Structures are given as structure tokens and as C-alpha cells.
Amino acid sequence: MAIIGIDLGTTNSLACVCQDGRAVLIPNSLGENLTPSAVSVDENGEICVGAVAKERLISHPEASASSFKRHMGTNKTFTLAENDFTPQELSSFVLRQLKEDAERYLGEEVTEAVISVPAYFNDNQRYATKEAGRLAGIHVERLVNEPSAAALTASRISGEEEGSYLIFDFGGGTLDVSVVDYFDNVIEIVAVSGDNRLGGDDFDEVIARSFCAHHHMDYDGLDQQKKATLLRLSEKCKRDLSEREETVLVWEAEEKKMPLNNLLLAGLSQNLLDRISQVVDTALRDSARSIDEIDEIVLVGGSSRMPVISLYLQTQMKRKPGMVASPDEVVAMGVGIYAGIKERKQDIKDLVLTDICPFTLGVSVVNYVDNDNPIMSAVIERNSVLPCSRTAHYTNSCDNQCQIEIGIFQGESYYCQENLKLGVIEMEILPVKKGEACLEVRFTYDIDGILEVEVTDCRTKQMRRKVLASENLRLSEEEIESRLEELRTYKLMPCGGIRTKIVMARGERLYAQTLGVRRQQVSVMMQKIQKAVASRNDQLIAKCLKEAEDIFDRLEEW
Ligand code: AMP
């Protein structure tokens, strides 16, 4: 049974397997390596994942969802066609699809996986990712931080095992910059920095706003559908600029145009570029490395393809970022290689991936100035190497106290209430004078980012242990089992009809987006496909689909 590596991304997900010491990306049923991380519930109650769901985001927004990775570890629910799902349940559908695709590709059952997560993912988000794996019927062997995976790929491809890497991961909605060392077969994240509100989508919005300003339109006043259409056109325009120097944004329905080139885009995005620069500076500063000590800049994430970005990095860092592999695939290949190591393949030598704890973990202590506003006392500091175990001692704050409540927090703020509360441990103590009790608090944070807290009363040796989390965000064993049962009733769409589904979903979107003759063209084509499907004539279906794809391509060109 193979172990696969999965890059469960915000926009796209990929699966990879290690064969003969090489990372091999696993194509989905459409032959593509990237499966959009989108889920939709269709009219028959079947779950579609990937390209079909991505099309349905526009034509059936009420039944579809994407970007749920951003809400992992929170109790947000998504309602898709009157079915409620948590972010981890939606992620589990994506994982189930990747598992099925991998099983078809490999011809064997896949029950284990290594999944990548952002280095800054907190305890809840990591736990939710593991839960998503479980709900998909996958045992999650290990969570690997995305920058570690990227460094692993970079070192394998460049053949230069040793070195310091700056991993620049720029996706649709987030920027993560990490400094990773790879020496003596140990991969160590030295520093991470990021902005989780900065991504390629911001560049789409900059273009869309500029288009509106150009045509004296009010961007914020556009209705939801128009905004979505304009953003989609802007994104296309942005992607065009990765291939050629200039392009034109044409909004057919509004009969409006705007020329754009990379220089103009750089000017429009100056604010965003400044924010990027701040994140890079923080990562370098935290790592105590100068840019001259970095051996390679590794570009990760779809937005790294923008020439505006690579040129900006080149001027800021006075060197050209290398392109070790496609930016979308770097992380997936790394987890694939790591999955190979896990399987103990002969041709890969053992490797240690150390991670750092990207945030501080600590307990609440009394604030003598403001009793209601406890202060954070750090037990494990940010950037500590994992696994790590630290002990701290605390005492009682008033005479004859019989019980001590120890709040466990995560974050960098001085005041606990501004940090994330992970849980509480309550401890009975013998009543003594203020300052005479002695409690030993041990934090053990493991390689998967799971935190265990032990509190021992030094006098009585009484001990309480807890695996900590925001309890209300976690499911009990029984709840997981019952949810597993329920989720099994949702069937993934069989891959045979997926191409038809995609073309039809695309038709529905184009129908919504066009008017007049073009809309009629779409409608005629869709009816033709439906008739062909009803006839069950495979040749006719294939012919109609090809014809529709050509027409739809041309309509999109327009
Ligand atoms: P990711 O989250 O890594 O999949 O990245 C998604 C982001 O990358 C989206 O904002 C896309 O618009 C952007 N993107 C993907 N391909 C390109 C490209 N060729 N040029 C510019 N941006 C791209």
C-alpha cells in the first residue's frame, strides 16, 4: 500500500508519490496535476470536487464553496444546497477525490498520506487537517510544513543538498516567506513570516478597481455577479501578463476595454509590493541571515509566476529567484519525496525534518493592576525547534486558595485575551499562604504540532494532563465516527461523466455571463450536448463536447 504526499492548497490541491526515488505527480481523471480545491453539491446530491465545482462557483454559488482552507480550525459552517459542512469536511471531500485519483493511477489502495500545512498553522488548524484526512478515510502519517517540503524539492532538483533557502510562497490569498536550512541531512525552518491577507487575488482587485476608475464606474457598487465577472476577467488579464508584456481587459457585456502591461501593473500595485517587501525583511531579520547568506530563492504558489513579482524580488534582493520546478508543484513534490522516505524506500536516505513552533505557547498569570486582564507567561517561545518540551513553575496568587485555574494560550500578545485560548486545566491544591504553592507546568509540543500540557503539584505529586485544543472545535471519537457514517452517504461524482459535467457547468457560467446572440449560442450548444448524452452515443457525445469546448474557448477569448 502506497503512502502519498498531498499538498492541500487553498486554491488547488495536488497528490504526489515517490517512485524510484523520484517525485511523480498524480494526474486527476482529467489528466491534470492540479485539482481546484472547490466543492459543489449537484442537483442529485452528488458531491463534485475540482474543475466542475470551480465552474459551479459562478453558476451555482449557493451550492458551492472554495477557499475553505482559510477557515480550517474554526467553527465556521458552509451551507451548500442546504447541507451544512465544516471546513474540514469540505477538505475531506477534496482529499477523498485525490485518494481516488491516486488509487486509479497507482492501481492499489491508498490509506496513508503525508499532508503539507502552512508553517504558521496553529494547533487547531493542524488538528482540523488531520481530522479532514480521517473523514476521507486516510491515516495522516505526518503533517509537513510547506516550506520544508519546498526546500526538500529544491535541494533534490538542484542537486545541491546543502544550503540556506528562502522560500517565497505567494498564493491566491496569502504570502508566506520562510528561511530554511538544509545541512547534514537535517531540514530546519529557521524563521517564518507572512501576511495572510495578501495574495494574487489582491492584484485581481487592483486591476478591477483600475478598470472601474478608467471607466468612471463604482467598483464597490457593482452587484455580486458583475463583480465576480470583472474579477475573473482581471485575473485572466493578470495571467496573460505572465506570458506577454501587454494585454487588453475587455468586458464584452459592458462594451468596455482597458489596455494593461507589466509596468502599469507594477505601478498600480506599489502598495502590495511594499507589503511583500516587509514580509521578506521580517523573515530575514528573524533568521539573522543577510540575503548574501541565502543560497537560493525558491518560488512557490501560483502568484509567483507574475513577472511583476520576480522582477521586484530581483531588484530588492539583488539576485534572480531560481525556478526549481513549477511554483504550483514544488510543495507537492516535496511531500511526495517525504512520503517516499516514510515508506523507507531503499533509494532515499533517512532525513530529519525539524520544524519550528511558529508562535509562542504559554499560560495566563495574574495581572495585579487589572485582575480581569491576565498576562501571558511564555512557556515555549516562538521559533523553538520541534519537538520540544519546556517546564515552568507557578504559584498561588492569594492565601488559602483551594483551586488554581491554568489558562493555556497561543500568540504573541502581552495580554491573554488578545491571544488564542487553547484550553484550561483546573487543579485542586492544598490551602496555603500566597506564593507557597508550587505547580510545575510542562508543555510538550510534538512534530505534528499537537500540544500536551501536564500540571503537577510539587507537594502532593498530583498530576493533570491534557492534549490541548479549543475543545469546542474538536470532535469526540463518537462524533467523528457518526460524521464519518454521514459523509459516506455523500457520493463523489463518478469520473466517467466529469468532462460532460465540466463543459455543462462552463456552459451554465457562460450563459449567466453573456447576452444576446452569444448567450443563444451557448444555450444551443448545451441542448446539443444534452441530446447527445440522452442518445448514449459515446462518439456523438465526444464530438459535441469538442465542438462546445471550441465555441466556449472562443466566447471566452472575446
Ligand atoms: P495558489 O493558491 O498557489 O494556487 O495560487 C493561486 C493564485 O495564483 C491565484 O491568485 C491565481 O490568479 C494566481 N496565478 C496562477 N497562475 C498564474 C499565472 N500564470 N500568472 C499570474 N498569476 C497566476
pLDDT digits (tens, 9 = 90+) for 263-279: 999 999 999 999 999 99
User: Which three cell numbers, joined as nine digits, stand for 134?
Assistant: 480521517
Residue 118 in contact with ligand 1 by CB distance below 6 A: no
Contact 123, 451 (CB under 8 A): yes
Which whole number is the average pLDDT over 22-38?
A: 94
pTM: 0.78
Residue 11 in contact with ligand 1 by CB distance below 6 A: yes
Mean pLDDT (the chain) is: 89
Residue 174 in contact with ligand 1 by CB distance below 6 A: no
Give 371's contacts (C-beta < 8 A, 6+ positions apart).
none
Give 128's contacts (C-beta < 8 A, 6+ positions apart).
72, 73, 87, 88, 91, 473
Nearest Cα neighbor of 315 from 260, 263, 277 is: 277
| Atom of ligand 1 at shortest range from CA of 200 | 10
Work out the angle between the directed axes of helices 224-243 and 200-214 (0-180°, nearest 10): 110
Residue 246 has pLDDT above 70, yes or no: yes
Nearest Cα neighbor of 97 from 140, 172, 19, 34 is: 34
Please identify which residue in the block is written with the cell numbers 541571515.
289
pLDDT at 348: 54
pLDDT at 551: 92
Which whole number is the average pLDDT over 288-296?
A: 91
Confidence category of residue 318, pLDDT binned at 50, 70, 90? confident
Which whole number is the average pLDDT over 240-256?
A: 92
| Atom of ligand 1 at shortest range from CA of 306 | 21
Which whole number is the average pLDDT over 6-15?
A: 95
Number of H helices, E strands in the chain: 14, 27
Query: What is the 303 CA–ligand 1 centroid distance (Å)?
Result: 4
**551 by DSSP, 3-state: which?**
helix
Which whole number is the average pLDDT over 231-256?
A: 93
| Higher pLDDT among residues 248 and 226, named by residue | 248
Alpha-carbon distance 7 to 115, whole Å?
Answer: 6
Which whole number is the average pLDDT over 299-328?
A: 90
Contact 8, 116 (CB under 8 A): yes
Alpha-carbon distance 507 to 75, whole Å?
Answer: 35
Type of residue at 501: K
User: Which three cell numbers, joined as nine digits, stand for 163?
Assistant: 544550503
Residue 194 in contact with ligand 1 by CB distance below 6 A: no
Residue 495 has pLDDT above 70, yes or no: no
Alpha-carbon distance 310 to 66, whole Å?
Answer: 27
Residue 240 has pLDDT above 80, yes or no: yes
| Atom of ligand 1 at shortest range from CA of 241 | 20
pLDDT in tens, 431-442: 999 999 999 999
Return the top range by mean pLDDT from 32-41, 50-59, 409-418, 542-551.
32-41
pLDDT at 477: 77
Mapped to the 3 state alphabet, what secondary structure does 121-173 carry?
Answer: CCHHHHHHHHHHHHHCCCEEEEEEEHHHHHHHHHHHHHCCCCEEEEEEEECCC
Confidence category of residue 501, pLDDT binned at 50, 70, 90? confident
- Express the helix, strand and coil content of the chain in percent, nearest 5 each: 40, 30, 30
Alpha-carbon distance 47 to 49, whole Å?
Answer: 7
| Higher pLDDT among residues 322 and 72, named by residue | 72
Residue 200 in contact with ligand 1 by CB distance below 6 A: yes
pLDDT at 471: 55
Residue 165 has pLDDT above 80, yes or no: yes
Residue 450 has pLDDT above 80, yes or no: no
User: Which three cell numbers, joined as nine digits, stand for 251?
Assistant: 468586458
Residue 171 in contact with ligand 1 by CB distance below 6 A: yes
Which whole number is the average pLDDT over 159-166?
A: 84
Query: What is the 199 CA–ligand 1 centroid distance (Å)?
Result: 9
pLDDT at 469: 56
**262 by DSSP, 3-state: which?**
helix
pLDDT in tens, 111-129: 999 999 988 887 788 889 9
Residue 347 has pLDDT above 60, yes or no: no
| Higher pLDDT among residues 464 and 121, named by residue | 464
pLDDT at 472: 56
Contact 325, 151 (CB under 8 A): no
Alpha-carbon distance 365 to 394, whole Å?
Answer: 9
